[in-house]
């Protein structure tokens, strides 16, 4: 039963909202059952994907590497994941985190994950990765966008995931002071 549930989650997580909309609109044209309630069905289908996504986020399933190509050690000890979906959101906290260092993140059992799959490879290899290697903290990278494609990507905001709760709880962060407030020990 567990295998079937995980397979169902994997199938649903790989479906984009555009595919859901195309399926729902095509299905609605073929059947009369939807009638006036087609909007309810569309809302239900869009809400299904985040609901299943929010069930769990197991870091041991992701082969995360940092800017030095080191893998994540002891993912079960991570309580918070700070996600930057774009460069503008990461720049909100990068200077302060560089001053605080890796010890500050370790004390709060937090890792940082940046989605850099939209960055051209040449730019990332020649400029971005050498600059990231100068950071005083570990920055885990999603080079392909495979792991974070279904995650929320609010522009110029970070997303802080609390991995301790049974259901995945997230909070949007707009500054370093908000991050300090959220991660108070």
**Digit-coded pLDDT (tens) for 42-85:** 555 555 455 444 445 677 777 888 999 998 887 788 999 999 99
Query: Order of strands across the sheet with 169-173?
Result: 65-66, 140-142, 110-115, 80-84, 158-162, 169-173
* pLDDT at residue 156 tops 70: yes
pLDDT, position 2 = 42
Verdict on whether the full-model pTM lies above 0.75:
no
pLDDT given for residue 110 in this prediction: 94
| Host H or E run for residue 7 | helix 2-13
Q: Tokens for 26, please give them.
A: 């095509």
Query: What is the distance between the alpha carbons of residues 63 and 61, in angstroms, rounded to a whole number?
Result: 7
The predicted structure's pLDDT at residue 174: 94
For residues 35-42, give the mean pLDDT.
57
Q: Give the C-alpha separation, 24 to 45, whole Å.
A: 8
Given a cut of 50, whether residue 117 has pLDDT beyond it is yes
Query: Is the Cβ–Cβ distance between 140 and 72 less than 8 Å?
Result: yes
**Is the domain covering 59-182 a CATH 3.40.30.10 domain?**
yes
Domain ranges of the chain: 2-53, 59-182
Mean pLDDT of 135-153: 88
| Structure token pair of residue 114 | 């940046």
* pLDDT confidence bin for 31, thresholds 50/70/90: very low
């Amino acid at each position: 039963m567990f295998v079937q549930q995980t397979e169902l989650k994997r199938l649903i997580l790989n479906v984009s909202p555009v595919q859901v909309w195309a399926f729902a609109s095509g299905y609605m044209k073929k059947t009369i059952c939807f009638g006036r309630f087609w909007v309810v069905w569309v809302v239900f289908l869009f809400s299904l994907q985040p609901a299943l996504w929010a069930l769990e986020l197991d870091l041991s399933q992701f082969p995360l590497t940092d800017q030095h190509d080191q893998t994540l050690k002891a993912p079960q000890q991570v309580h918070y994941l700070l996600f930057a979906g774009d460069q503008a959101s990461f720049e909100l906290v990068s200077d302060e985190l560089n001053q605080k260092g890796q010890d500050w993140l370790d004390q709060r059992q937090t890792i940082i994950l940046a989605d850099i799959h939209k960055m051209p490879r040449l730019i990332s290899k020649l400029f971005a990765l050498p600059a990231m290697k100068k950071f005083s903290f570990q920055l885990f990278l999603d080079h392909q966008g495979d792991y974070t494609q279904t995650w929320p990507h609010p522009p110029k905001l970070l997303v802080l995931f609390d991995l301790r709760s049974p259901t995945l709880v997230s909070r949007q962060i707009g500054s370093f002071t908000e991050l300090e407030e959220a991660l108070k020990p």
